[in-house]
Amino acid sequence: MQRKSIDYLLSLSLLKQLRSQHVITEEEFIAIDQLNKKIFQVAITWAEMDLMMCRKHYTM
């Protein structure tokens, strides 16, 4: 996994925590996530996408 992808996934995890604690709104979450994707130049592979979907399923 590329370093930028790891950094992005870490930032996504933090964003999810902030959203779940109602520190940021859903709109802020989406805006920050879109900006992070540009900053980290995310190149998500299918394996990483599967991993993210599995984690999403278990954190809901």
Give tens-digit pLDDT for 8-31. 889 999 999 999 999 999 999 999
Domain ranges of the chain: 3-59
One-letter-per-residue 3-state SS of the chain: CCHHHHHHHHHHHHHHHHHHCCCCCHHHHHHHHHHHHHHCCCCCCHHHHHHHHHHHHHHC
Residue 4 binned pLDDT confidence (cut-offs 50, 70, 90): confident
- 22: its two tokens: 């109602």
